[in-house]
Chain A
């Protein structure tokens, strides 16, 4: 990490102020999360009298019951399947369109870019009812595709924009050389552009994966049967069923956010860069 501000604070007072502030904010961020994880290890009575502290008796069974339930794995599987379909379709469709818009000169190219940019201006929620009717009329209601296709469509604007800017900034000498050698657009796309664009493929992949993994409103509207629910919907059903059994709900929350937290800690640099740089460049 590069140093950006002025010199490192020297006085003891500055240091105390600095770390005290940071620690207070960190505590406010972490306490809800830590008490959630610990709460999952408690009995309901223990949770009621002692929500902050360590469990009186560690109820590992709260967690193992969920881990051995079909329900948990089904929800995770649904979320993963929907996310993988969304990511792969987004990358394929967006990179192809972005390539054509970046490298091929044709009448109306600019107008087409602006047409896709309209998608940046409003969220899926604005058109959710007509979207529901379209999915219903296509017979895709209560199917994974009914969730995936709208998600891909609403992710296209950002993805095309990111890919297009990236493709245009690749060294143009490559293009010269390739075309002198008689390499056509499609071969160039496949053999030169895509292999050179791995960082941007990763960025678009992260953005659309996180978006799909966490998405709630589109699956809420499109899916009816619990067997197909991704985890954000499933966790709401679980909470509805166990309404005040907070120890079980907390264990369930912990296990559903665990993959996200683990992935974040393992690939923090890529995820932070993907989610912020991606947003900035769009």
Chain B
């Protein structure tokens, strides 16, 4: 999210001498373009993005099954029930855990690989391609592939256990292990995207600074710590932002892996919304979940924007 308000403030000088063209009668003046070009986007966006979000806020105060009009006003009850719901608390924890793993494992892994592949070494392009491949696959397909990998009867884990002579693990059926199995898939699927961000960041970097540090006798680690990393600041922030937003939305990958089970141990906010809001047609309750997710996302977006503006 770049800051566009700075651009927007720049006056469009050309519009002044062209005033004469702005007659409604001429096809191509100011008004025809506004009347023809803006409404489709405005209508679609308002109807399917803004209004539903506003309605979610409204419905969240009602107990409603979606038929007729929402009449049973319950105040903040939905939110009260939500935060006392064991599965929702698990979902919040899981979302936090996914964010933590993204920050502690995924982003450093991506940066490490990007640094290696930024060298002009034979095969670098192929490696980049391989690492990016999981990112282009659909989450649903990635989830199903890993469901096979983890399968205790036919999967790769079963074979490894057989080879080691231990009892076959049913990772996804174990309520203590399943979430970690999912975390591994998240890293597998998304590290390549973050690696590409870092490669782009490294390529945009001024190499003279690094050379200067080298001449001054900086070691590899010193160069990384005091030159590369600070210069990559905005890329790191961007990568962290995407990791956080992505983990908050995680749904497609969980459904084929565990569907939020066993016994709700792998719920995320969105799978919880789906299971308890959509499947049971609890519009008020489901909307309350949406509102909580919305508040978290907006807070994050503003925090990111502020930190980006302060530092860049």
Residues of chain A having any CB pair with chain B under 8 Å: 1-6, 8-9, 18-19, 21-22, 25-26, 28-33, 35-36, 39, 44, 47-48, 50-52, 92-94, 96-97, 99-101, 103-106, 109-110, 112-123, 125-134, 149-150, 152-154, 156-157, 160-161, 164-165, 168, 172, 175-176, 179, 182-189, 210, 213-214, 216-217, 221, 232, 235-236, 239, 244, 246, 249-250, 253, 256-257, 260-261, 264-265, 268, 271-272, 275-277, 279-282
Contact = CB atoms under 8 A, between A and B. Distances in A.
A104 B200 contact: no
B154 A44 contact: yes
- Of all A-B residue pairs in the complex, the 8 with the closest CB atoms, nearest first, are A184-B28, A153-B48, A97-B41, A214-B138, A127-B52, A130-B55, A130-B52, A96-B37
Contact of A131 (B34, B48, B133): B48
Interface stretch (B84-92, B140-148, B175-183): B140-148
A249 B251 contact: no
B33 to A, nearest CB: 4
A93 B39 CA distance: 9
Given A129-B278, A184-B28, A186-B27, A25 B131 contact: yes
Contacts of A105: 12, 15, 30
A122 B45 contact: no
A153 B116 contact: no
Given A104-B15, A117-B4, A253-B141, A244 B278 contact: no
Interface string B188-231: 10001100110110110101001100100000000100000000
B260 interface: no
Nearest to A183: B28
A100 B34 contact: yes
Nearest to A176: B14
Contact of A121 (B139, B196, B287, B298): B298
A257 to B, nearest CB: 5
B249 interface: yes
Nearest to B149: A32
Nearest to B246: A123
B173 to A, nearest CB: 14
B230 to A, nearest CB: 16
Contacts of B47: 134, 153
Given A126-B56, A165-B4, A185-B32, A260 B49 contact: no
B83 interface: no
Given A97-B42, A154-B49, A264-B136, A22 B127 contact: yes
B156 A8 contact: no
B81 interface: no
Given A21-B116, A246-B151, A126 B141 contact: no
Nearest to A245: B154
B132 A185 contact: no
A29 B175 CA distance: 25
Contact of B30 (A104, A154, A268): A104
Contacts of B51: 130, 134
Contacts of B274: 128, 217
A157 B297 CA distance: 15
- Main SS at interface, chain B: helix
Contacts, number: 337
Contacts of B188: 28-29, 32
Contacts of B125: 1
A50 B21 CA distance: 74
A35 B156 contact: yes
Given A123-B297, A239-B144, 15 more contacts: A4-B199, A8-B121, A29-B192, A36-B148, A39-B148, A97-B42, A120-B1, A125-B270, A130-B52, A154-B48, A161-B4, A186-B27, A186-B36, A232-B252, A280-B200
A113 B154 contact: no
Contacts of B159: 50-52
A216 B138 contact: yes
Given A100-B37, A236-B255, A106 B145 contact: no
B41 to A, nearest CB: 4
Nearest to A27: B130
B138 A26 contact: no
B153 A221 contact: no
Given A5-B118, A5-B202, A129-B286, A186 B137 contact: no
17 contacts: A25-B113, A28-B188, A33-B134, A97-B40, A106-B30, A129-B56, A157-B45, A172-B14, A182-B21, A184-B33, A185-B30, A186-B36, A214-B137, A216-B251, A246-B155, A253-B141, A253-B145
Contacts of B119: 3, 5, 8-9, 18
Contacts of A152: 44, 48
B290 A160 contact: no
B140 A235 contact: yes
A216 B256 CA distance: 11
A103 B13 CA distance: 10
* Residue in A105, A113, A256, A260 whose Cβ sees the most chain B Cβ within 10 Å: A105
B239 to A, nearest CB: 10
Contacts of A35: 148-149, 156
B287 A104 contact: no
Contacts of A244: 153-154
